[in-house]
Every structure is written in C-alpha cells, then in structure tokens.
Structure 1
C-alpha cells in the first residue's frame, strides 16, 4: 500500500461559504415575538398608532409570499429586552 508523504502537502484554504440569511414566515415571527399578525402589520403601517419604525420590514419573496430576516427580528427582540426597566 502506498503511503502519502504529508510533508509535501500544503495547507489549502477553502473559501468560506457566504452566510445566507434565514427567512422567517409570519407564523414564526408571531411565535418569536409573542405579537399577533394584526399587531405586526400595524407596527409596519405608518398610519397606525401602533407603528414602530424600528420593527423589521418584511421581504417580498414572491407574489403573495413575504418573510422576515431572522437576524433583524432577533435584533428587534434584543433591543426590547435591553430597553426594559429593571
């Protein structure tokens, strides 16, 4: 059996794969935030008294299908936790 000479092999750097953002459907955003779907859409509506300019805006994926970027939803939740009065 032939042996490999490991001293002749050079370290090869494999390019890292790009991070693909995970997309959350409305049902998961409702679950993670504890908000209703109506409240979420009100928070996105500038005419609503529930409007929150910091709430992540959905991404249109196709006709009739939207989702939210998971990291943006997580940041919004973390900002709410950080802003609470202890």
Structure 2
C-alpha cells in the first residue's frame, strides 16, 4: 500500500510539472476581452491603426483553426488592468 501511495505522489508531481497550456478559441477570447473579432484581428495586423504588439498571437492548430494560449490572454488582460489610470 505504501508503494502505491509513493507512485501516486510521483504521478501527481509529474503531471503538475507537465502543465499543458490551455487553448482558447476566438469565441472565448472575445468573451474574456470584451473585444470583437474584427478588433482582435486588427490588433494582430501590423498595417492596422489598432495594431497592438502586446496582444497575444494566435496559434495555428490546423488548417482553418486557430486558438490563443489562455495564460497569454490572461496576462494581457492583467497588464491592461495594471496600466489603467486611477
């Protein structure tokens, strides 16, 4: 029984070390940021007036499918909150 407990603890340690990044589809990025899809893509377009180099870049998952790394979106939102003028 003690051996089983050690294996369980080791597995838990391995899983916590191997945190898989969570990916957000566009709909969730829209929801969390309050931005429209047009604004999001404008913020990613270097030719746009709304270009924001701090906005997270999407990851191409497959042909026609992109997503954003949840932690990067969260960090961008936190930075916007921290930068606001009181």
Which portions of structure 1, spanning 4 or more consecutive aligned residues, are displaced by more than 4 angstroms?
A: none
| Structure 1: gaps of 5 or more residues | none
Any residues of structure 2 matched to 1:1-86 within 5 Å, and which? 12=6, 13-14=9-10, 15-17=13-15, 18-86=18-86
Query: CA shift at 1:34, angstroms?
Result: 0.2
- How many angstroms does 1:16 deviate by? 1.6
TM-score normalised to structure 2 length: 0.86
> What secondary structure is seen at the aligned counterpart in 2 of 1:20?
coil
Please say which structure displays the higher CA radius of gyration.
Answer: 1
Q: Distance in 1 between matches of 2:14 and 2:79?
A: 30
Q: How many residues align?
A: 80
Q: TM-score, normalised by structure 1?
A: 0.86
